[in-house]
Amino acid sequence: MKKLLYIFALATFFKGYSQDPIHTQFFMVPETLSSSFTGAKQSTRAGIIHRTQWPGLNFSINTQFAFVDNWFEEVKSGIGISVLNHKETTTRYNFTQVNLNYAYQFQISDEWNVRPSISVGYGSKDFGFQNLVLEDQINIFSGIINANSIDPINLNESVRFLDFSASVLFNSENSWIGFTVKHLNRPNISMEIGGQENLDMFMSLHGSLYIPFGDYRNDNKLFVLANGMMQGAYNRFDLGAKYEMDRFSFGLLAATNPIKTDPNSHFLTSINAFVGMDWEGFRFGYSYDFNVTEIGRTGGVYELSISYDFLNNDNCFGCPDY
């Protein structure tokens, strides 16, 4: 009976990790969502974002995303590389993926551009099964742990796969809206030898809408932010606003679970506060997600982001404002 429970728990664990990592600061480092932002500032840019989730529990999750991209004016294209790493500290589950991203830009009106893109990635999921001790390995009388087990589970310690994604972005100088579909080929991520578990496609509809207000001579800006995501049974919708003034920006978002898969699920899961600063081509961001569910004292979720524009080209004409 204990073995059956163990098998069930292990299967549930892997199913949970078939979901993509997400970031609260999708508006600060939109490359985490869409490869269409590759080269969008018509400059050379690099950045990194770090996310720590639930540090107050014994199940802390750390995620890092880094990118570098460049704009090639002669072919109206952006090319870049991004790296994603996702690690659970207790089980030592680790996921790493490297992507090559390409985006092309063309104009559809005096104010709006379109940026279709494709992304090709190579991913790796690892789990240290050698650290597990099963029931039949423990001899309680002698105090010896046997090296072998007759447990029927036959698992790989790692799985490798190719991954394909596509995105499109519509942008003006101050606003943008995009759509992304990741894992178009639905790669097999099963860690069971001979097993089959296809990664669900991840879909996201995201945008930043500029809201004019006050004196037109005022450089301050207000944006409405939205990001709807769906992957298998999992869904999330973030809605909020960001206010920019001089070098500083402030934001507040609500993370919701609009399509409940369980009657006990919460509609509102967290309130996310953000503060940012621009300085000499650098952009800094810090956000903290205040948990409003009944999970307990999770310690919340915080993110730190840093990006750098080598040409300090944030005010280029026709580039999306983010």
pTM of the model: 0.84
Q: pLDDT class for 144, splitting at 50, 70, 90?
A: low
Task: Provide CB contacts within 8 A for 238, sequence distance 6+.
Answer: 24, 26, 225, 226, 227, 228, 253, 254, 255, 256, 272
pLDDT tens sequence across 274-293: 999 999 999 999 999 998 87
pLDDT tens sequence across 8-19: 334 444 444 568
pLDDT tens sequence across 31-59: 999 999 999 999 999 999 999 987 766 66
Mean residue pLDDT across the chain:
85
Q: Which two tokens stand for residue 106?
A: 């063309």
Contact 33, 60 (CB under 8 A): no
End-to-end CA, the chain: 54
pLDDT beyond 60 at 6: no
What pLDDT, on the 0 to 100 scale, is given for residue 316? 77
Q: What is d(CA 10, CA 152) in angstroms, rounded to the nearest whole number?
A: 13
More confident residue, 153 or 7: 153
Q: pLDDT class for 104, splitting at 50, 70, 90?
A: very high
Q: pLDDT class for 181, splitting at 50, 70, 90?
A: very high
What pLDDT, on the 0 to 100 scale, is given for residue 57? 66
